[in-house]
Amino acid sequence: MTARPLGRLPGHVLVLWLGVSTNFLLPRLIPGDPLQFLVGEEGSRLTPEQRQAVLAQFGMDRPVLEQYGAYLAGLARGDLGVSISYGASVAEVIGARLPWSLLLVGGAALLAAAAGFLLACLFHRLAAGRTRIYFMGAVVGVGSVPAFLGGMVAIAVFAVQLGWFPTHGAVALDAEGPAIVGSVLHHSLLPLATLTLAQLPSFFLLARAGLEGALRSTYTMLARAHGVAPWRILLWHAAPNALLPFINHLGITLGGLVGGTVVVETLFGYPGMGSLLHQGIVAHDLPLLQGVFLCFVLAVVMANASADLLQARLDPRLRTLEGPAS
């Protein structure tokens, strides 16, 4: 059963290595100098010894190839280096931010997927004629609003005018005990809704197309001929088949979203990976950027691998094509 995904393993490993190496290289192509951020304009006036003394604290005083070797060796040990802007281990800094992003990204992707699928079902079941056009226009229109604008509106209306939600942050700083859970949910709702709405149309359109194909197939025609209830045909017969490309898309979205929350996190002052990426770029913090990009690569690879595994489990045709289950 897992033969196909395992067969793809070397591909995933290759992608990972390429990603890791690109992570190392790309930040170094950004014009600038981390010393500018650390010591201001005097960065360019330091003697070679002074430069080395500052950069040595971050392992950046060595030749690039040596840094690359140290980076790979560090990765093998789980050591991502030391952040320039935080003065702390990159792994620690990321460890403090990643859970917030996973909550936001995972929640948004799952909500968008569920809502998109549900709306697609409603679209097929309830809408007809012009209503279909309005329905589709409304969903695509809502999702086309840029996240920063939607977020600003959400803050202005729901946080400032109505006072229902906090404007920023991930948790109330004075929350203790079980109240933390409620506070986290309370704080995450607006950014979560903003991200969910931004992702919704792609899931809706994919599910709509998948359901349409499935509803035109011979097996659903047969079910209809047997007098099976329309809702049952939709959910029981058409939906499972329409889900397959949907799951692939969910995998891609999940991976991509981890790195795609910069705007929403900045807008809502949310302490996730997006704001960390922003800080890494602003500060020319090469070790931090390497670590953050590594997480993004891992997220994409793992999300795609998971989607492969899930697809193999859900689609009997894949199992048949690849022989008996292992």
Partner 1 sequence: MRAAAGTAGLQWASLALWLLHSGACDSGRADPPDILRIAIPDEVGQLTPYGAAVPETLLGLVYDKLAAPAPYMGQARPHLAAAITSETADGRRWRIKLRDGIRWHDGAAFGAGDVAFTLTFYRDGPANRWTHHVSETPRIVGVAIIDRLNLEIRCADPCPQFDKVTAADLPILPAHLWGNVREPHRYAGPLVGTGPYRVVAFAAGRYARFEANASYFAGPPRVPALLVSFVRNPATAWAALRAGELDFVSSSLPPELVEPFRRSPQLAVIAGDPMTAVELRMNFEREPLSRPDFRRALVLAVDPDELARRVVPGAARSGGAGYPHPDSPWTAPGMGLRSDVGRARALLDELGFIDRDRDGRREDRAGAPLRLGIKISSSEPLQLRAGEVLMAQLKAAGVASRLEVVDPAHHRGLFVTRQFDLVVSEISAHGLADPDQFAQSHRSGYLWRAGRPHPELEALLSRWRRAETPEERLAAGFALQRLQRSEPTTMALYYQRGFFAYRPVRFAKWRSVPGLGVFHKWSFLPEQSL
**Which CB atom, from 49 or from 65, has the smaller least distance to partner 1?**
49
Determine the interface stretch with partner 1 among 70-78, 88-96, 127-135, 315-323 (rule: CB under 8 A): 88-96
DSSP annotation string for 134-156: HHHHHHHHHHHS-HHHHHHHHII
Q: Mark 31-50 with x for binding to partner 1 (rule: CB under 8 A) and - for no binding.
A: xxx-xxxxxxxxxxxx---x
Whether the CB-CB separation of 205 and 112 falls below 8 Å is answered with no
Q: Where are the alpha helices (DSSP H) in 167-217?
A: 179-215
d(CA 275, CA 260): 10
Determine the interface stretch with partner 1 among 69-77, 83-91, 246-254, 310-318 (rule: CB under 8 A): 83-91
**Which CB atom, from 148 or from 231, has the smaller least distance to partner 1?**
148
Q: How far is the CB of 18 from partner 1 (least distance, A)?
A: 24
CA-nearest of 23, 94, 18, 75 to 286 is: 23
Determine the interface stretch with partner 1 among 79-87, 225-233, 247-255, 304-312 (rule: CB under 8 A): 79-87
Whether the CB-CB separation of 262 and 278 falls below 8 Å is answered with yes
3-state helix, strand, coil split of the chain in percent (to 5) is: 80, 0, 20
Under DSSP, the state recorded for 117 is H
> Which residues is 89 bridged to in the sheet?
82
Residue 87 binding partner 1, by CB under 8 A: yes
Length of the chain: 326
Whether the CB-CB separation of 76 and 281 falls below 8 Å is answered with no
Among 159, 175, 228, 309, indicate the residue that binds partner 1 (CB under 8 A). 159
**Which CB atom, from 57 or from 131, has the smaller least distance to partner 1?**
57
Among 244, 276, 292, 295, indicate the residue that binds partner 1 (CB under 8 A). 276
Q: How far is the CB of 257 from partner 1 (least distance, A)?
A: 20
- The residue ranges that bind partner 1 (CB under 8 A) are 30-33, 35-46, 50, 53-54, 56-58, 82-88, 93, 96, 146, 148-149, 152-153, 155-156, 159-163, 166-169, 173, 266-269, 271, 275-276, 278-279, 281-284
